Amino acid sequence: MIDEAVDDATGSDIASRMIDAAVRVPFTENSRLAEVGLDSLTLVSMAVECAPDTDQEIDAGALAQLRTVGELRQWLRALAGGGEPG
């Protein structure tokens, strides 16, 4: 994991900036993605922007398992860090 990617729990890392930009309603870490209007295509485009390496793979199955904003944040951070998202 790249240190700069995470400032703090909900800080100003790229994942958090993207979530803040994409979600237009009040939300918490436990908010469900469907409720805050994040569909799978939006998640994909966030992933594409987060990942530093175009060879990185994202698994559609794992993507489908994301339920909450918190889970999404963790997953995007892992991607941004070049790690295996899961």
Partner 1 sequence: MTTTVRPSGPAPGTDAPWLAPLTETQLGLLMVHRTVPVPHLYNVVAEIGLDPARTDEEVRRALAAVIAVQPALRTALHAAPQPHATLADPPPPAAVPLRTEVTASGGHARRLGELVAELSTVVFDFAAPPLLRAVHVRAAAGDRAALLLVVHHTVFDGFSLRPLVKDLESALAGRLDVVALRPARERALHRELTAQRDAAADPAVEAAAVALGERLRSVPATVLYPRPGRPTETAFTGRRRELPLSPELSAAVDRACARLSVTPFVFFSALHAAVLARHSGNATVTFGTPLLARRTIGSYGLCGFFVHTLPVVVDIDWEAGFADWVARRVAPEVQSVKERAAVPFSRIVQHAAPDRIGNRNPLFAAMLAMQDSTEVEPGGAVLTLREHGTGTAKFDLWLGVTPTAGGWLLEVEHDPELLPDPVAEGVLASLAGAVEAAAGDPAVPLTGLFRDGSALPETDGFATGPPAGTLDGWFRRTAARHPGRVAVEEPGRRLTYRELDAAAGALADGLARRGAGPGTVVGLTTSALTDTVVTTLAVLRLGSRYLPLDLSLPADRLAYMTEKAGCRLVVGEGSVPGATVLGPAEAAAGGAPAPGREGPAEPGGYIMFTSGSTGRPKGVAMSEGPLLNLTGWQLAALDMDERTRFLQYAPLGFDVSFQEIVPTLLAGGTVVSRAPADRRDFPAVVRRITDSAVTHVYLPVAALRPFVQAARAAGAALEGVSHVCVSGEQLVADREIEEFFAERPWLTLVNLYGPTETHAVTTHRLTGRDGGWPAHVPIGRPVHGVTAQLVDASGRLAPPGVAGELLLGGRCPADGYINDPERTDERFVPDPYGPPGARRYRTGDQVLRDDRGTFVFLGRDDDQVKIRGHRVELGEVESAALTHDAVREAVAAVRGTGAGRELLLFVRPAAGAAPSAGEVTALLSGLLPAPMVPGRVLTVDAVPTTGNGKYDRPALLALADTLIARQERPAPEATAAGGPLEAELLELWSGVLGRTDLSAERSLLECGAHSLNVLVAMTTIEERYGAHVPLLDFFRTPTVRALAALIEAGR
Sites of contact with partner 1 (CB under 8 A): 32, 34-35, 39-41, 44-45, 47-48, 51, 53-61, 64-65
**CB nearer to partner 1: pick between 12 and 40:** 40
**CB nearer to partner 1: pick between 29 and 35:** 35
Contacts of residue 82, Cβ cutoff 8 Å, sequence gap at least 6: 2, 51, 52, 53, 56
For CA atoms 57, 2, 71, 27, the dihedral sign is negative
**CB nearer to partner 1: pick between 9 and 25:** 25
Contacts of residue 74, Cβ cutoff 8 Å, sequence gap at least 6: none
